[in-house]
Amino acid sequence: MAINPDVLATALQDLAPGYSELFSLWHPLMERIVSKGNIDRASLKGPFREFVVVTDGPGTVTQVLTGSEVIAGGRAQNARRGDTFAPRLIYAFDVPGKDMAEANGENDLAKIIKRYPELALSDFHERISDQVAGGNSTAGVGGFLTLNGDQNYNPQGTARNGVFEFAPPATQVDTVFNLLKTGGAGGLAGWHNQFGQVTSFATDGRATMRQAYYAASRQGSKTSGPVDLLLGDETSYLNYIDDLDDQVRVMKVEGDKAPPQLRQGIPFMEADFFLEQSISDGITAGNFTTGGSNNGVIYMLKTDTWHIYTLGHDSGMETKGDFAVRGPIRIPEQDMWRYEYVLNMGMYCDQLRANGVVTGAAIP
């Protein structure tokens, strides 16, 4: 019995939520943002989101010695508005009518799902991961945010700087989320990422990592806690393991739908340190060029300061934008049925100084 294109679409709709959840478990940053509840679904009324950045307290303190002092009032203007856009990305793949006609029952349906939709979604996930970590915009997802400050991303027709600069705070001059960093003329005080550069891992690797970790952890609100996630290239990661020697303790990404050995990490201070192959691939591709970043990159993230949002309301039309499935659509003049995965998602950070980056840790 041949498989109807709508039957395949129904199977995809049923499986898609689990696949999307698997991506969040596979990508530690996404998983932690979602687990902390920092995700808004379809709540925007326009193409972009504004958010408030507060880098200092709103008032002043007056010491009372005699009781006749005039209490200084007023309001310090330490709040600024940043903004962020959600790119709309559509991954389309075609299933030949011949394959569906030759299919016979549930077993063949499972094979078709393995051959087309699963591979397509896995490829889409990998492209997003590469873009976030390394800024690999050649993969067609250059509108999605990148952490790599050596690269731009383009969500709505205008290029924007990647989030992390590989330089000390006083010399950071990029505009990120439409806010000029601390080092720029008229820049926002406190709007920068922490930074550390390793001479060689054997010499000052762990010391530099600790310094950047504490510099980021003590920033932000008291309730946000310390930096809790590190993502590093393979060589930096292995240098850290070698330096630990017999003190290594491996931890895993957990979850009912996460296959064993999906991702493994090791503790660093109060954070979990994961190997991020996308950073290694980005270094090999030449996407990292400044501040020693071509010799290793370790992102230090306080995930409580990160947020995700999606656009879209109608599952049957524009979709909800969270790797949603759309189709089937008959391709004119071809015996093909097209299916689409739709991602309309944005990310932003509202306390940049509570995050950091370390370069050069790939040097032995």
* Distance separating the N- and C-terminal Cα atoms of the chain: 60
pLDDT tens for each residue of 214-261: 999 999 767 788 999 999 999 999 999 998 876 655 555 554 444 444
* Residue 282 token pair: 């980005």
Low-confidence stretches of the chain (pLDDT < 70) are 1-26, 41-47, 56-60, 73-78, 104-110, 113-114, 137-138, 221, 246-263, 313-321
* Residue 338 token pair: 């097209």
How far, CA to CA in Å, does 342 sit from each of 42, 73, 196, 317, 339?
14, 51, 38, 11, 10
Q: For residues 171 and 193, is the Cβ–Cβ distance under 8 A?
A: no
pTM of the predicted protein model: 0.85
- Closest of 279, 17, 320 to residue 151, by C-alpha: 279
* Residue 252 token pair: 């895993």
- Closest of 291, 276, 285 to residue 359, by C-alpha: 291
Residue ranges of the domains in the chain?
Answer: 5-55+77-359
Class of domain 5-55+77-359: alpha beta
SS (H, E, C) the chain: CCCCHHHHHHHHHHHHHHHHHHHHHHCHHHHHHHHCCCEEECCCCCCEEEEEEECCCCCCCCCCCCCCCCCCCCCCCCEEEEEEECCEEEEEEEEEHHHHHHCCHHHHHHHHHHHHHHHHHHHHHHHHHHHHHHCCHHHCCCCCCCCECCCEECCCCCCEECCECCCCHHHCCCEECCEECCCCCCCCCCCCCEEEECCCHHHHHHHHHHHHHHHHHCCCCHHHCCCCEEEECHHHHHHHHHHHHHHCCCEECCCCCCCCCCCEEEEECCEEEEECHHHHHHHHCCCCCCCCHHHCEEEEECHHHEEEEECCCCCCCCCCCEEEEEEEEECCCCCEEEEEEEEEEEEEECCHHHCEEEECCCCC
β-strand 179-180 against 336-349: which pairing, if any? unpaired
Q: What is the pLDDT of residue 257?
A: 46
Alpha-carbon torsion, ordered 114, 116, 118, 120, to 10 deg: 160
